Amino acid sequence: MKFNRRKFSKSFALTFMVLGAISQARAGDLSADQIVSGLKTPRTRSLSATIAPLSEKDAAFIQRVRTTRSLSSADRDQIASIAKDRPSVDVEIYFDYNSAEVTPKAEPQLNNLGKALTSAGLAGSVVMLGGHTDAKGGDGYNQGLSERRAATVKKFLTEKYNIPAENLISTGYGKTGLKNPGDPFAAENRRVQIVNMASNAQASK
């Protein structure tokens, strides 16, 4: 059988492109535009719906925790209660095992997040960075790890994109609220949830 070098080269190139696309899809990275869209879209099926403004009570709470260094368990629960009705996206930030340090693999997604949060549509908004882990390990360990990872993302955004620290509420939820409860050890459970808690107009009040 005669070897066709040109045909092989084209076939190899096509295979490489397909594998590259699959690899990128598995990474689950969101573009800056996708993040902006997710954080400006109401969590409702109605296309005509708008994001409901915060109640006075919730707005006052958000203003308080913006400058709180250490959130209590009650604070975390109230943030989660408010966040469930706010626009959000799940951003997969890659960390090494048992580490909260930013890795080169995580930087592209973090940069997309930084670009989104400093865009014209989102600049000045108050955003929650909610760290989550998979179900491996104990409750206390995962709680601490999720908080450290969320704090790492906050540090990256404040230092590289000059986002005011008071506009980023960093908290952790350990292994509670699994994204994929059917597979508690799945990678998609290890994430940082980004929630638009208050728009720039609401945050300035």
Closest to 52 measured CA to CA, from 38, 37, 42: 42
Tokens 């989660």 belong to residue: 80
Domain borders along the chain are: 29-203
Q: Is 0.85 topped by the overall pTM?
A: no
H-assigned helices in the chain: 5-27, 32-40, 56-65, 73-83, 107-117, 139-161, 200-203
How confident is the model over 29-58, as a mean pLDDT? 78
Q: What is the dotted CATH code of the domain comprising 29-203?
A: 3.30.1330.60
Q: What is the pLDDT of residues 1-13, one digit of tens each?
A: 454 555 434 433 3
For residue 149 the two structure tokens come to 């990872």
* pLDDT surpassing 90 at residue 141: yes
Q: What is the pLDDT of residues 159-184, one digit of tens each?
A: 999 999 999 999 999 998 888 899 99
